[in-house]
Amino acid sequence: MIYAITFNPALDISGKVDRLIPNEKCYVHHEIQTPGGNGINAGIIASRLNGNVLLSGFVGGNNGKMISRLLKKEKLKQNFITINGDTRINVTISEGNSHQQTRLSFAGPQILKNEWSQLLRIIEKAKPGKDLVLLGGSLPPGVSVLMVSSLVLSLSQKNVFCMVDMPGESLKKIIRSRPHFIKPNLQEFQDLTKTNVTSVKSVLGVAKDLNKFIPLISISSVEGGALLVNKKEAWFGKTPKISIHSTVGAGDSMVGAMAALLSKNPDTPLDDLLKLGLAASCATLTEPGLTLGSFQSIKSFEQKVRVRKIKDS
């Protein structure tokens, strides 16, 4: 089972405008409503790749009900905590043929102590050596980084495989609790390690130091590709040239694809992990708005992704 946890889900509303003009009314067309949040996006991709996924987190109000209804169409198992507050709305507007996007992300509802305790009871059911817990996205008011760090430490001590895909500021403190996997982009990695590394070689050198307490690290946006590193080896991969329609959910898709493989075999070869992860990212990048990559698209790109082992890693 993959427990895909989204602390701060959102009802994502996306649409297109011919041109975004400040101080003017801009008429939006092609409106789409989708369930949003890193954990939800990753869970959807993992499920499309035949992962056994349970979605959880906090939802409330009519927006929360809409998220649940939309997820039912994906036939995903869900066990969300119903909260007193209202689930937030996020807005993404794409402009004309340029596909440039304006994204508005709101803070989210206040989470109460008893609501947090209910979520912990769900996650505590994860079994060592059998289940995987994926924690994704920003934190709503009422959920502190310390609370999440304590959760990650508990999972680590129980030897439940824990993947963390959260913003850089949260990640800085959470890595002290020794999650099994993290996936920062290059900027987040630089902030995390207080370095200015940019090349594959320099990023790898710093990542190896992190490997002492985080077994598996993926760093995206490095020389136009991504690195995947453990204590023994490192791989670098690039996607084929594509027409990018939207960047929303691309990183989540990469994490979800890797989760699907790791949930079946924690010792999946790094080249297989990286190839499928990049293929999932690629599939989502070529979709418009907030649409995530399909199984067929991911499998098609998997044949085109090129990965190579980094020698002397």
Query: If you average pLDDT over residues 202-226, what whole number do you get?
Result: 94
pLDDT at 313: 58
Residue 168 has pLDDT above 90, yes or no: no
The band of 258, judged by pLDDT with boundaries at 50, 70 and 90, is: very high
* Residues 17, 94: Cα–Cα separation, whole Å: 6
pLDDT at 98: 75
* Residues 12, 67: Cα–Cα separation, whole Å: 9
Structure-model confidence comparison of residues 243 and 227, the more confident one? 227
pLDDT at 279: 97
Query: If you average pLDDT over residues 248-254, what whole number do you get?
Result: 92
Residue 289 has pLDDT above 80, yes or no: no
Residue 311 has pLDDT above 90, yes or no: no
CB atoms within 10 A of CB 86: 15
Contacts of 269 (CB under 8 A, 6+ apart): none
- pLDDT tens by residue, 102-122: 989 999 999 999 999 999 999
Degrees, nearest 5: CA angle 134-201-269: 45
Beta strands 88-95 and 10-17, pairing class:
parallel
The band of 292, judged by pLDDT with boundaries at 50, 70 and 90, is: very high
The band of 312, judged by pLDDT with boundaries at 50, 70 and 90, is: low
Residue 67 has pLDDT above 80, yes or no: yes
